[in-house]
Amino acid sequence: MTRLVALDLAGGPEFVAALQRTWDRGDAAFVVDRRLPESAKRDLLRTVRPHAIVADDGSSSRRSNPIAPSLEPGDALVVATSGSTGSPKLVVHTFAGLEVQARAVHSRLEVAPGRDRWLACLPLSHLGGLGVVIRSLLTGTPVDVIDGFDGDFVDQAPERLGSTLISLVPTALDRVDTSRYRWVVLGGAADPGDRASNVVRTYGLTETGGGVVFGGVPLDGVEVAVDADGAIRLRGPMLARGRRLEDGTVEPLTDEDGWLHTGDQGRWDEGRLVVHGRHDDLIVSGGENVWPTPVERALSTHPSVAEAAVVGVADPQWGQRVVAVVVPTDPG
């Protein structure tokens, strides 16, 4: 029986070792979001129903939970994703799928275990942070894991640790100097503006095991389709096995032809995928489609604008009005 082991551990060498031990036993892992309040953490674990919990506060339990549903041999990871509804959905990944994704990423970035070293500094409960550890373990690439983002540590890691690779989100990247990293893998929110040549923007979902489109170009083995209405579909061996339901069964995420319908919208531009955003983010004003990201990008070029977010607000004449929420560079 493949058990599910919840890891409630701080980021660091012990986390990496615990994940490796879990996999060596043939079990699957679930990483607890340690930023959650204790009450929310308990609610999450009641939903996840792990067979055992490994914690660093002395409360570790390796005893089997009799009501915990078992997984299938080959399952490696369960990840909680809130999606668009806010209620946790549990996505099940296999070793085979994770390894395909890891090797495709390393092939694209030309990662050499004898030369490169990852730094993991994003939350390990999400694949932006955990994916770094997974890729390192599955490919034998050195990795250092810190317990949360620390700008000074990130700045100094290339010199102190020999770090050459890092995964960041735009807000974190804006706070650090990454010029000494060979590659910065950028995921998360849409990222307006120009970036240094060592920054590669990625597109992916929890269901894809992380980024599967790098710099607008799909990784090897990844198929991307953009329908006439702009809907993005993905297909490939790195897709999750499915979504675990309340009774423990795992339902497929794809249609009968193996396509994952992402809910995102985009287009091809000279052979590169341009992602506009979630279908729900689209603003229709006076019959015109307005995507928030290009408007936010234009606003962000103004020297008086530190941050900008664009939303649609109901309007009796236009259907929706385009409204910008702006943070000024000088609040005074």
**CA–CA distance from 235 to each of 10, 97, 106, 222, 262 (Å)?**
34, 12, 19, 6, 10
| 98 and 116 housed in the same domain | yes
Among 240, 255, 276, residue at a domain's last position: 276
Count the domains in the chain.
2
- Compute the distance between CA of residue 49 and CA of residue 71 in angstroms, rounded to an integer: 12
Taking the C-alpha atoms of residue 20 and residue 25, their distance in angstroms, rounded to an integer, is 9
pLDDT at residue number 86:
55
Same domain? 197 vs 323: no
Taking phi first (over 0 means left), then psi (-120 to 50 degrees means alpha), and beta for anything else, what does residue 58 get?
left
For residue 219, give Cα distances in angstroms to 96, 113, 203, 277, 301: 16, 19, 10, 20, 31
pLDDT of the residue at 288? 64
Over 90: is that where the pLDDT of 253 sits? yes
252 in the same domain as 313 = no
DSSP reduced 3-state for 280: helix
The domain spanning residue 174 has which CATH number? 3.40.50.12780
Q: At what angle do helices 127-139 and 95-109 cross, to 10 degrees?
A: 90
- Comparing 23-32, 149-158, 183-192, 237-246, the range with the smallest average pLDDT is 183-192
Are 143 and 228 in the same domain? yes
CA distances from 85 to 46, 233, 253, 280, 291 (A): 19, 20, 17, 12, 21
Q: In the predicted model, what is the mean pLDDT of residues 4-16?
A: 96
Domain boundary among 258, 276, 294: 276
CB distance 264 to 278 below 8 Å? yes
C-alpha 47: how far from its chain's center? 21
**Residues 169, 303 within the same domain:** no
> How many other C-beta atoms lie within 10 A of the C-beta of residue 38?
7
Q: Are residues 166 and 307 in the same domain?
A: no
Are 125 and 217 in a shared domain?
A: yes
CA torsion angle 286 289 294 296 (round to 10): 50
Question: What are the phi and psi torsion angles at 143 (to 5°)?
Answer: -145, 145
Instruction: List the one residue out of 161, 150, 156, 210 whose CA is nearest residue 178.
Output: 156
pLDDT at 170 over 70: yes
149 lies in the same domain as 287? no
- Together in a domain, 59 and 174: yes
Structural tokens at position 70: 């078992």
Average pLDDT over residues 135-154: 97
The whole-number pLDDT of residue 314 equals 79
- Pairing type for strands 199-205 and 210-214 reads antiparallel
Residue 88 confidence (pLDDT): 82
Residue 83 pLDDT more than 70?
A: no
Dist CA 75 CA 66 (whole Å): 19
Rounded Cα distance between 67 and 45, Å, is: 13
DSSP state of 261: E
Compute the mean pLDDT over every residue in the chain, rounded to the nearest whole number: 90
Highest-confidence segment of 78-87, 273-282, 303-312: 303-312
CATH number of the domain at 302, please: 3.30.300.30
Is the pLDDT score of 58 beyond 60?
no
| Residue 287 in this model has a pLDDT that exceeds 70 | no
Supply the pLDDT for residue 82: 67
State the pLDDT at residue 117: 98
> Quick one: average pLDDT of 120-143?
96
Domain that residue 305 falls in: 282-328
Distance CA 277, CA 114 (A): 38
Position 84 confidence tier, pLDDT thresholds 50, 70, 90:
very low
The mean-pLDDT minimum among 40-49, 94-103, 119-128, 130-139 falls in 40-49
Please compute the mean of the pLDDT values over residues 75-85 and round it to a whole number. Answer: 80
The 10s digit of each residue's pLDDT in 211-240 is 999 999 999 999 999 999 999 999 999 999
Residues 287 and 237 in one domain: no
Q: Same structural domain for residues 57 and 198?
A: yes
CB-count exposure of residue 91 (10 Å: 0-12, 13-18, 19+): buried
Same domain for 101 and 238: yes
Amino acid at 13: P
